[in-house]
A = this chain, B = another copy of it.
Amino acid sequence: MKQIQSFFLLLFGLSFLLSACGESEYEKDVVAETDGQHTPQYALVIHGGAGTIKPKKMDAQTRVAYEQALEEALDRGEAVLREGGTALDAVVAAITSMEDSPLFNAGRGAVFTHEGHNELDASIMDGKTHAAGAVGGVRKVKNPILAARAVMEKSPHVLLTCAGADRFAVEQGLDTVDPSYFYTERRWKSLQRRLEKERKAQPVGETLEEQEHKFGTVGCVALDQYGNLAAGTSTGGMTNKRWKRLGDSPIIGAGTYADNASCAVSCTGHGEFFIREAVAHDMSARMLYLGETVQQAGDYIIHQKLKALGGDGGLIALDRQGNIAMPFNTSGMYRAYVKPDERMVAIFKEGE
């Protein structure tokens, strides 16, 4: 009996050694760091912005269009993860899909600045290495998230801005487009309404308060089969913005953060509040230092901290065990997630 036991122990030991030799460095990390817990093979969460989105105000056709666009982005991101791609690749796949859709305020379909331009912001972060890249105020790059990734991987910098960021993207051979590519009638009309209001009335400081508060920023967080997290965000910013204003989306620590030790986060909402509260990094800090779950940290920041300050918005967050939080304090948030055995797409509050 004892001999049989020893034989099996030896067999087990050998097979362990053999399998360990075949593992990549990433895979060893997962085995070591998840410490025997059940790890899902992968998970991907996206948002298409939080804001005043109410079921009564949205016709069936529009709703279906948004749901289809979210499904499409999920599909693109999931395909990468299912085939063994990295979280970074999945984030880029899902976000480019939403940037290419005219429905969201990112890439094609971005809102217009006061002067009638589209100025785009994006950022991306790798939870394993803390590498990060971002662009603010680009006008030529077709997919700002690709420019953010190029900054991360092909420059020694984190944040490039304005014409400089466009120049960098061109040097990197990224696809550029004519400004007319970003044009959508809906966003143009939105600017005209804002300008009309401004002409009739109050100083700039106030008009921003009464704006529609529809923020169509897009974002994605992903967990890959190697146990690594990544996060990305892309936006056109606020309608009628001026003076080359940047919100939280291109700011690592505000709109985007990823750390394998805590979570990956992408935010959407009134960016100034998200910068002042360093929301994306605060998510990570609350988990690391207070031991909060991704849901506890998200709920506290969105429903208590930001709500008390008047900061509208929401976020998506994902930890290394595949736990997901998607809190928002607005009436709706375009959001969706996928895991190997689960899929969800939603726009309004639960039950609406």
Check: A290 CB closer than 8 A to any chain B CB: yes
A278 to B158, CA, bound (A): 12
Task: Give the interface of A toward B (CB within 8 A).
Answer: 125, 130-132, 136-137, 154-165, 167-168, 204-205, 208-209, 241-247, 251-254, 257, 271-272, 275-278, 281-282, 285-286, 289-290, 309
6 closest A-B pairs by CB: A164-B244, A253-B278, A289-B289, A285-B285, A164-B243, A278-B281
Closest to A167 in B: B243
Give the secondary structure class of A's interface. Answer: mixed
- 9 further A-B pairs in the complex, CB-CB below 8 A; given A136-B136, A137-B162, A161-B245: A125-B276, A130-B277, A131-B276, A156-B204, A157-B272, A158-B272, A158-B275, A160-B244, A285-B285
> 8 A-B pairs, CB-CB below 8 angstroms?
A136-B161, A154-B205, A157-B243, A158-B271, A159-B251, A251-B252, A253-B275, A278-B281
Task: Chain B residues near A159: list those with CB within 8 A.
Answer: 245-247, 251, 275
Distance between Cα atoms of A136 and B243 in the complex (Å): 11
Count this chain's copies in the assembly. 2
Q: Which residues of B contact A209 (CB under 8 A)?
A: 156
Q: Which of B157, B162, B167 is the one whose CB lies under 8 Å from A161?
A: B162
C-alpha spacing A209/B161, complex, angstroms: 22
Which of B208, B242, B247, B285 contacts A281 (CB under 8 A)? B285
Contact B309 A281 (CB under 8 A): no
